[in-house]
């Protein structure tokens, strides 16, 4: 029996020595995933580097996002974004450079968001390391939005001009213009024109083709429009162009000829602006329709000359108060013979608005975006930003108003909504 003891002791000594060699391997706790196994002698940050650094704050939208493993190979990278509006998404990207680098697929970081990075890398010995980091992007103090017309899903006339109004003045017009795309199907080239720091319009060279679907793609979220001011919107909306209707008002002949889809369909008697209050000439566009509205001379510089509370079938042509509307108060023989208004275009109508009167029929058949071209008034066209009057600019003049062509912006002028009208 005595020879056996030394052999057992030798076996015990061997087991102890093997256990000592195995002691450098970390055993995962029961609640840790198997992928969390790592070499205790090498911290995760040594094998996996993440930019921005862990717990970074105020990272700009154009900040670099990258995961590297210069002394190992990345096996898996997951980057998650948590936005302030409650949206969560996975940031797309790919591992490249032989497995040593992960970069996002493209685009900028969202502001006011928190990002988490989870990466797994394998070193030269085949051992895996896991790293989890997080960072937050800059939270802007000021935001801006762009309101737009026409409305999403609407059907409009061929003369509709897409118009954006911004809630704050835009200093970096090129950045904002670059973030908005207006496209047409069937294809037509569409260009932008700035009217001062808060308005940006889009139109094609000629009127839209009937049946066109126009897409407005807004990528304004986190676009810097001015120092400390960033956009809030990211959305895509569409509208449809209906049939073509262009109506020519001849103020000298006191008539309006309506041409629909290239064919004359009606000629009606009208009364236009009287001497001293002539109706604007040029191409005007219907931008609003009201079955009935009030028109008060005080709102457009005519004092107390008129205040009519029930003007029927009113269609706005300029922001400064030019309307095409029904007129029930003028003598019937005025229409087709004399110009008696304060600048508006009046069509025969009855009090309360009649469905079968010239004004009623024209109102029912008109769309926002229909063109009304005035000739023979002796008055020039309104400023191109007075309503949707941009068709009075040549194509070259329109292109010159794009910030992306080196121009700072177009002419400034009245562009607000005025409640009254020029009857």
Catalytic residue, chosen from 254, 313, 325, 342, is 325
**325 classed as catalytic:** yes
Give, in order, the Cα–Cα distances in Å from 12 to each of 7, 16, 24, 230, 418.
9, 6, 20, 71, 98
Distances (CA, A) of 145 to 148, 161, 284, 293, 386: 10, 19, 27, 30, 22
Rg (CA), the chain: 35
- Whether 254 is catalytic: no
Token pair recorded at residue 296: 């008060």
CB-based burial label for 203 (10 Å; 0-12, 13-18, 19+): buried
Rounded Cα distance, 188 and 203, in Å: 10
Distance CA(268)–CA(275), nearest Å, equals 21
Given 193, 313, 342, 344, the catalytic residue = 344
Rounded Cα–Cα distance for residues 313 and 238 (Å): 27
Residues recorded for the chain: 423
Asked if 360 and 337 count as a contact pair (C-beta separation under 8 A), the reply is: no
DSSP 220-260: -BT-EEETTEEE--EEEEEEEE---EEEEEETTTTEEEEEE
Angle (CA) 234-240-246 rounded to 5° is: 130
Residue 146 tokens, joined: 């762009």
Q: How are beta strands 142-144 and 229-231 bridged, if at all? A: parallel
- With a CB cutoff of 8 Å and minimum separation 6, the contacts of 368 are 150, 154, 156, 157, 160, 286, 287, 288, 289
CA torsion sign for 308, 310, 316, 317 is negative
Do the beta carbons of residue 83 and residue 90 sit within 8 Å? no
Q: Which residues are catalytic?
A: 325, 344
């Amino acid at each position: 029996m005595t020879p056996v003891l030394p052999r057992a002791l030798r076996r015990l000594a061997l087991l102890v020595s093997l256990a000592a060699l195995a002691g450098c391997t970390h055993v995962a706790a029961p609640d840790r995933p198997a992928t969390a196994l790592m070499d205790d002698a090498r911290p995760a940050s040594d094998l996996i580097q993440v930019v921005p650094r862990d717990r970074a704050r105020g990272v700009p939208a154009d900040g670099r996002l990258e995961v590297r493993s210069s002394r190992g190979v990345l096996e898996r990278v997951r980057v998650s974004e948590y936005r302030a509006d409650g949206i969560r998404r996975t940031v797309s990207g790919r591992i490249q450079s032989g497995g040593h680098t992960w970069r996002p697929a493209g685009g900028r970081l969202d502001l006011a968001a928190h990002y988490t990075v989870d990466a797994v890398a394998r070193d030269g010995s085949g051992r895996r390391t896991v790293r989890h980091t997080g960072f937050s992007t800059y939270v802007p103090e000021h935001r801006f939005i762009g309101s737009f017309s026409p409305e999403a899903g609407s059907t409009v006339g061929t003369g509709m001009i897409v118009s954006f109004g911004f809630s704050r003045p835009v200093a970096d017009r090129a950045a904002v213009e670059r973030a908005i795309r207006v496209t047409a199907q069937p294809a037509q080239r569409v260009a932008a024109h700035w009217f001062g720091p808060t308005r940006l319009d889009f139109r094609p060279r000629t009127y839209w083709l009937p049946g066109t679907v126009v897409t407005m793609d807004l990528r304004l979220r986190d676009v810097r429009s001015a120092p400390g001011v960033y956009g809030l919107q990211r959305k895509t909306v569409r509208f449809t162009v209906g049939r073509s209707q262009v109506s020519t008002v001849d103020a000298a002949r006191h008539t309006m000829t309506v041409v629909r889809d290239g064919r004359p369909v009606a000629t009606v008697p009208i009364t236009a602006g009287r001497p001293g209050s002539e109706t604007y000439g040029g191409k005007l566009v219907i931008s609003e329709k009201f079955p009935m509205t009030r028109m008060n001379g005080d709102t457009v510089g005519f004092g107390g000359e008129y205040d009519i509370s029930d003007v029927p079938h009113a269609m706005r042509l300029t922001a400064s108060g030019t309307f095409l509307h029904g007129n029930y108060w003028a003598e019937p023989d005025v229409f087709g013979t004399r110009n008696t208004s304060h600048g508006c275009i009046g069509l025969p109508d009855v009090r309360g608005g009649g469905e079968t009167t010239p004004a009623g029929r024209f109102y029912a058949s008109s769309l926002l975006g229909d063109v009304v071209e005035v000739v023979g008034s002796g008055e020039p066209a309104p400023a191109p930003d007075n309503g949707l009057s941009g068709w009075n600019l040549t194509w070259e003049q329109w292109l010159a108003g794009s910030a992306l062509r080196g121009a700072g912006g177009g002419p400034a002028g009245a562009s607000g909504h005025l409640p009254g009208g020029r009857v």
